[in-house]
Amino acid sequence: MKTSKIILPIIVLAAMQTTAQNPMNLKDCLQYAVENSTSIAVEDERIKEYSIERRDAWLNALSPSVTGSASVAASSGRLTDPETNVYTTLKTIQDSYQIHGEITLFNGFNAVNRIKIAKIALLTGKESRKAKEDEICLSTIQQYFNYTYYSKMSALAQLQLSNAALSLQKVKREYELGNKSQQDVLEKEVFEAQAQYTFAEYNAQKNKALMELKKVMFYPADQNLVVDTLIENNFSAEIFDVGATAQYAVETNFATINAKNNMDIRQLELKTARWQMIPSIGIEAGWNTYHTYYPENKEMGGPFNDQIKNHAKKYVGAGISIPLYNRFSKFSNQSRKKAEYQIASFEYEERRREIENAVYAAYDDAISAGKSLEAAKKSAELNQKYFEAAQKKFDLGTISYIDYNDVFNNYLESQAKYYNAIFDYRIKNAVIDYYRGKSYLEQF
């Protein structure tokens, strides 16, 4: 039986899904995952918190704190009559009002360092969001390629199942005409059963891979997801200088940026702790007044406005706070901050080495993946030609089922290795581009 030639780079699925939804390619999947990720939404909220902390740091450094208060109190007893200056029994209701403001002029640069820390924290939050986006994109890419792989293998298995069914029908007709034996029919039935099992296995793996893709994309599990599994064979990767890439990655990768920011924050906290050993200076100012009401003698005390004006007073003052003895808590705090800064410095150097090693390892992986892809492609092409020749012989009955099944299994294995090599090659080179500063969302 004549079979159609299978093209290696692109295999069209035999079972087309009838749906009004447009197939989502890799770019669409990445955008959907980023837009619907709850993890990224959490990072956005954290950035808002960091922005509020930075605003509060500026306000704390540049503006005074102002409070206003009002109180009322009732009393009864021996009091001095304000008109006769003689003690008498009086009932009074007194309400008082006060406005007080204060600002610290100098407290060991604590306010300035707080502004710097808040700024660094905000930058770290933004970098953390980018890192979370890249993490989600990488997971989506891996699951997308995994689903595409099983889709291709399932399509091959389904094509083979169709060929097996047609071959069985043909040999049964030949058997009815007396041209084939019962053994020939049995071989074809065994071949079809094996093809059914292979297709069922790959189809189950495809469905499982689709659910995993939905999971990383934050796609509703109960909704249909149509994925474009077209494989383009015109992609290429340019290998850049590994040393330059490693240096760039060390300076721009989130792991090192986060470690560097953490080290800078610890250093600012250490400086703040050291400055706490010297005096702090502040000023305060305010205004207060009160009004007294006599229920039993409403004429006493005078009108409300007059009392408020006559009793009002303003004040302004400056103060200095000198740390004399506080059980060495400031010394202990300074020692702790120094240790935390040293730890952060060691962690920063460790992250630098890790990123540098990761870049060199990624380059080696990409080069190996390129060589593996070339070998896998050549093997797949040769096995395809051998399989097509064996298919014709098997249809004519010139080779046994056992021999043909061995050829088919080798062909299927070569296709699996070829697709794995394609996806592995693309992911390994995507990692290199990521270290060069190009996000995964920008690459596809």
Q: Which pLDDT tens digit goes with each residue over 358-402?
A: 999 999 999 999 999 999 999 999 999 999 998 888 777 788 777
Query: In this structure, which topology does domain 26-65+133-281+329-443 adopt according to CATH?
Result: Outer membrane efflux proteins (OEP) (1.20.1600)
Question: Which of 116, 115, 127 shows the shortest CA–CA distance to 47?
Answer: 127
Q: Check residues 138 and 61 and name the one with the higher pLDDT.
A: 138
pTM, two decimal places: 0.76
- φ, ψ dihedrals at 412, nearest 5°: -65, -40
Q: What is the pLDDT of residue 237?
A: 59
Mean pLDDT of 138-149: 94
* Each residue's pLDDT tens digit, 186-201: 888 888 898 899 999 9
C-alpha to C-alpha distance for 308 and 311, rounded to whole angstroms: 5
Residue 250 has pLDDT above 70, yes or no: yes
- pLDDT band for 139, please (50, 70, 90 cuts): very high
Annotated domain spans of the chain: 26-65+133-281+329-443
313 with 288: CB under 8 angstroms? yes
Residue 17 has pLDDT above 70, yes or no: no
Q: What is the pLDDT of residue 143?
A: 95
Q: What is the pLDDT of residue 80?
A: 67
Mean pLDDT of 346-355: 94
Tokens 């993490």 correspond to what residue? 135
Residue 315, Cβ density class (10 Å: 0-12 exposed, 13-18 middle, ≥19 buried): exposed
- pLDDT band for 236, please (50, 70, 90 cuts): low
Q: What is the pLDDT of residue 334?
A: 87
Mean pLDDT of 6-33: 62
